[in-house]
Chains A and B, each alone.
Chain A
Amino acid sequence: MDWITIISTTVKAAIGVETVWYALAAIGINIHFGYTGLLNFGQSAFLAVAGYGLAVTVTVLGLPFWVGIGVGLLSAVLLALLLGIPTLRLRADYLAIVTIAAAEIVRLVFRSVAFKDVFGGSDGRRGFSDGFYAMNPFSPGTYGFGWLSFNERVLWVLVVGWALVALSCLIVFLLMKSPWGRVLKAIREDEDAVRALGKNVFSYKMQSLILGGVIGCLGGFIYGLAYASVQPDIFGTETTFFAYTIVILGGAARVFGPVVGSMIFWVLLVLVNGVLSGAVESGLITFMDSTQVGPFRYLLVGLGLILLLVYRPQGVFGDKREMAIDAR
């Protein structure tokens, strides 16, 4: 087995593009689920409308990059309003079903043949990231040392991505210390008590949905810019579910929970993939072939999610008393 490659890909995964955009999606979910107790299963839709908002504005309408970012952010806010008005009065399990349905609607419309001229069908859109890379301050070349090196494009995406993660964490930290954040946590613990205190619960939930959606949608931008393309099926329900796994793994209602969770999630996924592929190639494992390694590690994700919820629902950093997982 080629341990150098396995270790280098694993270390890269800890700070890689996947980790960044899943961390952003998970920070959004942490605001919804961790702090407010909203079971939003439609997070992938926020990533999708942001990524497509940027892509369509730049490629189809031919407008500049920053207009695209603005359109993406606006679409995320609009989606939060559209999603929130009918659903936020519903109980948790209804909310889960309706948000997942809304996310599927968004994905199906993006991949439909009927709107192929706008959204590009199942192939998605590409060729909208030039404006972003034109701002790249790093001159072409390889940065880093030995096996831990990136080219200037990846480095630029990572710098911007981690800056956004840090900014999002700072916002979450400051907001959740504020009276506003305490109301959110109170809604999570007992909605009726908050209502009895004269707070407009619906309005607070909506603000939480918008904030989490906008932070999550940054993940859609990072995905689109890093791969210079968006495809509808990237933003399926499994993306949301993996982001939930990340939040629970790192610890819900903790500022750095989603970030650490994303790092652990992708390190484990890449490590398992490297070790298993290596073992299959060198003949150590004979009960599966190399094409089955990919599904097998997602099978482990499912198993991991079950075991986490059963044995350690608070994840690595969380506090069991702060988990909104009981019936109310």
Chain B
Amino acid sequence: MRRAVIAFTAFLSGLVLLLLSAPAYAAAPEQSLRGTLTYQGQPVNGVKIVVTTESGQPVAEVTSNAQGTWQVPVDKPGKYKVTLDVSTLPQDTEVRGGNNVRNPTVFEGNPAAVLFALQAKGGAGPGGENDTTGQSTFWDQAAQLTFEGLNLGLIIALAALGLSLIYGTTGLTNFAHGELVTLGALLAYAFNSGIGLHLIPAALIAVILAGGLGYAQDRFFWGQLRRRGTGIIAMMIVSIGVAIFLRYLFLILFGGESQSYLQYTAQPGIQIGPISAAPKNFVAMGIELAVLVIVGLALMRTRTGKAARAVADNPALASSSGINVDRVIRIIWTMGGAIAALAGIMLGLSQNLKFTMGQDILLLIFAGVTLGGLGTAFGALVGSLIVGLFIQLSTLWVPPELKSVGALAVLIIVLLFRPQGILGRRERIG
């Protein structure tokens, strides 16, 4: 166990170093079509783009802005028809190849880039070599996806840590943990958009408040259930009730629409090496890593951390050696609630905010926790990073909409051969 922890801490420190030299990845909003029009390196604005569905139903008409970019959010994944109105192009330019219609496929939750290369009218102009810029090599893609995978893995790890520790100390498989993630994101949105605070203080307040709510949840709800002697399967089903309750509470209060924070929404990406990224993701990954390292050190070094691991190992033994088990569990709930909220805020930065955002990653959190071994804190971290990396890298071969399928399938296959997970112990699976 100790060796695994040291190895993991070293791994995390390595990641911090890596981060200092490399940027984070560009945010993926909900599914959309987008593109950038340039001619001889200059943006082309005022070009009309018409988007219709495959069957010709109109979706939207947009014009490219001063940066030459245009974007059309679409409700549903599927095939679309994108037409560039050639009469709105600058007089001396045309679309290379003459074909001004594209038929891109949009996958769920992913933007689809639509490429129109422009050239001077009447043949190959000086913009001739530009059409290679949209292509990237396999390794460039792999580097970019590794980066995105690490970012996703870190977010999952934040959420998974709390889930795993709660499982380890109380035996509760908490299906409402996804809603704790959503809670953090929506609390930050409430302070950000409702009161008008800048996102950073809003996020801080949200994390503290979520920690308090985590404490209250254990003090007034889960702790009471434990005292009544409720079985762990009953508690698991209760947690489903809590998840449904909170999810629809969020829907009533927040509405069914997607929202985004007021700050840091559309940052221009920066390109370093093969990876293109928005600066906010760079900062977000740094914060996530710092929090994970701090929590990891706290588990290793502090009295409470040691007590927490002791309770996770054997609650009865821990209790008999003088550890206040209830106090430890309460601290874990407080911390678990707070870092789940942080995960939600980070997720909200790289996607849109929605009342189902936590529910949508709950199974990935479970996959991370189970891969690492239920109840082991550091296993959850390793498992989550593997899940995040696997999900993003698998898009090299599978359509992005099916990337979660791969991760969940791997979860099932791993359980076939090593049911206790990577760092788990045999007796836990029963």
User: For the complex, what is the distance from the CA of A111 to the CA of B233, rounded to whole Å?
Assistant: 31
- Interface stretch, picked from A60-68, A152-160, A170-178, A306-314, is A306-314
**Contact mask for chain A residues 264-307; partner B; CB cutoff 8 A; 1 contact, 0 none:** 00000000000000000000000010001001101101111110
Flag whether B225 is at the interface (Cβ < 8 A).
yes
* B268 interface contact, C-beta 8 A: no
Which residues of A are found within 8 Å of B374, using beta-carbon distances? 93-94
How far is B249's CA from A292's CA once the two chains are assembled, in angstroms? 10
A101 CB contact (under 8 Å) in B79, B173, B366, B419: B366
Q: Report whether B105 and A327 are in contact in the complex, using a CB–CB cutoff of 8 Å.
A: no
Q: Which residue of B lies closest to A292 (CB)?
A: B252
Interface of B is mostly: helix
B417 to chain A minimum Cβ distance, whole angstroms, is 9
Task: Indicate if the CB atoms of B238 and A310 lie closer than 8 Å.
Answer: yes
A97 / chain B contacts, CB cutoff of 8 Å: 173, 366, 370, 411
Check A104–B404 contact: CB distance below 8 A.
yes
What is the bound-complex CA distance between A33 and B18, given in angstroms? 48
Interface residues of A in 227-247 (CB under 8 A from B): 238, 241, 244-245
| B76 interface residue per 8 A CB criterion | yes
Contact flag A309-B234 (CB < 8 Å), given A98-B415, A113-B77: yes
Q: Report whether B249 and A299 are in contact in the complex, using a CB–CB cutoff of 8 Å.
A: yes
* Chain A residues in 8 Å Cβ range of B37: none
Interface window among B129-137, B240-248, B273-281, B322-330: B240-248
Residue numbers in B under 8 Å from A244 (CB-CB): 237, 240
B363 within 8 A of A: yes
Q: Which 5 A-B pairs have the closest CB atoms?
A: A302-B245, A302-B244, A305-B241, A326-B231, A325-B234
* Residue contacts A-B, CB under 8 angstroms, 19 given: A39-B236, A89-B419, A90-B419, A93-B232, A108-B401, A108-B405, A109-B405, A112-B401, A113-B106, A113-B107, A241-B244, A296-B252, A299-B252, A306-B245, A323-B234, A325-B231, A325-B234, A326-B232, A327-B233
Which residues of A does B touch, CB under 8 Å?
A: 39, 86-87, 89-94, 96-98, 100-102, 104-105, 108-109, 111-114, 116, 121-122, 238, 241, 244-245, 248, 288, 292, 295-296, 298-299, 301-306, 308-310, 313, 323-328
Residues of B whose CB lies within 8 Å of any CB of A are 76-79, 105-108, 171, 173, 225, 228, 230-234, 236-238, 240-249, 251-252, 363, 366-367, 370, 374, 399, 401-402, 404-405, 408-409, 411-413, 415-416, 419, 429-430
